[in-house]
Amino acid sequence: MMHTLPYVLSSRVRIARNLRHCRFPHVASRQERQVVLDQVHDAVVTHPRLRQADLVPIDALHPLDRRVLEEEGLISHRFASQGEQRLAILLNTHKVSLLVNEEDHLRIQAFQPGLELKRAWKAARTIENCLQETLDFAYSQQYGYLTTCPTNAGSGIRASAMLFVPGLIVSKQILPLMTHCLSAGYTVRGTSGEGSRSQGYFLQISNQRPAEPRIHTLLDDLEQTCQMLVNRERQARRALLASNGTTALRQQILRAKQQLLTLPQIDLETGTKLLALCRLGVSWGLPFRSTSKRRWSGTTQQRDFARIDALMLRIQPAHIMQYHRRHHQRTHGSESSLSLENDATLRARLIRSVMKA
């Protein structure tokens, strides 16, 4: 994993499944959706490997908490904003999530840091096997696993990786590579998935062939494509260093770090861009935290990547509001008379607290 962390933020594998003899969620009645929810719920709470899961009834959840889960990628925007009889099931310290009554009856998704598609697949597959002991999934000899959207039928599997490619974007090499990926049958998106644009030099690449029956072929092909992009990104970074000079790029990254420590207000776009520059700096051996006195090592670098990646999530709008509420509760004992500090001020304060910790 370590050798890909400078270039790959995370890998995700999602499995779509539906219960046999139950109508798809978009045409099911309220009662039918409840039947599906109850069956999945019972399968989880009675299985010895799953009973420690966190069960989150989305219908009853505060809108802010839904948005937090959405920003974390644990639930989709559709799941957060519409539907009934919805349940999110979180496992393995939230590295695996199950969504009940989303577009399909059940969506199992697993996440891993770095380029670890097969490890993510193994985690998702393990959960599916546990559920399959008591649930009967809809399957056709002709079409494979049946899904609400016909293009997802077959294996019902989507795999994706979130790449960090500042070298390719700055050097303007990314567009022909995106065209190549699209022509090879992949989807290329921004940081928030479908319809989003790239922020902080991140791009998501995912397969478009869930009908592919050979799972390892699907994963191998995507991994090879990601590895090709990683190699090109590595070359682009070397070229940037050669053309701009190590000192100039180092100064740019140090300025970004200084801005994060001193700016009184930081909007989301600015924060994401500055943190991305710091992430690039970590890949070149520059520590992230201002108080870091540890001898530089691979472990230090890995911790800094994890710290920056977590901070990029924590500066998102819903996370900032959640941070504000929790901070207010700790200092005032309740949410009453919640102060009206704006997001940019809170974001700057949060970033400083992490960098100075």
Amino acid identity of residue 42, one-letter, is: D
8 is in an annotated binding site: no
11 is in an annotated binding site: yes
10 is in an annotated binding site: yes
Distance CA 152, CA 146 (A): 8
158 is in an annotated binding site: yes
162 is in an annotated binding site: yes
Distance CA 254, CA 101 (A): 47
56 is in an annotated binding site: no
1 is in an annotated binding site: no
CB atoms within 10 A of CB 179: 11
160 is in an annotated binding site: yes
234 is in an annotated binding site: no
161 is in an annotated binding site: yes
339 is in an annotated binding site: no
Of how many residues is the chain composed? Answer: 357
14 is in an annotated binding site: yes
Distance CA 97, CA 55 (A): 10
321 is in an annotated binding site: no
Distance CA 80, CA 308 (A): 26
297 is in an annotated binding site: no
326 is in an annotated binding site: no
Give a three-class secondary structure readout of the chain. CHHHCCCEEEEEEEEEECECCCCCCCCCCHHHHHHHHHHHHHHHHCCCCCCCCEEEEHHHCCHHHHHHHHHCCCCCHHHHHCCCCCEEEEECCCCEEEEECCCCCEEEEEEEECCCHHHHHHHHHHHHHHHHCCCCECEECCCEECCCCHHHCECCEEEEEEEECHHHHHCCCHHHHHHHHHHCCEEEEECCECCCCCCCCEEEEEECCCCCCCHHHHHHHHHHHHHHHHHHHHHHHHHHHHHHCHHHHHHHHHHHHHHHHHCCCCCHHHHHHHHHHHHHHHHCCCCCCCCCCCCCCHHHHHHHHHHHHHHHHHCCHHHHHHHHHHHHHHHHCCCCCCCCCCHHHHHHHHHHHHHCC
Annotated binding site: 10-14, 107, 158-162, 189-194
Q: Binding site for ATP: what residues are annotated? A: 10-14, 107, 158-162, 189-194
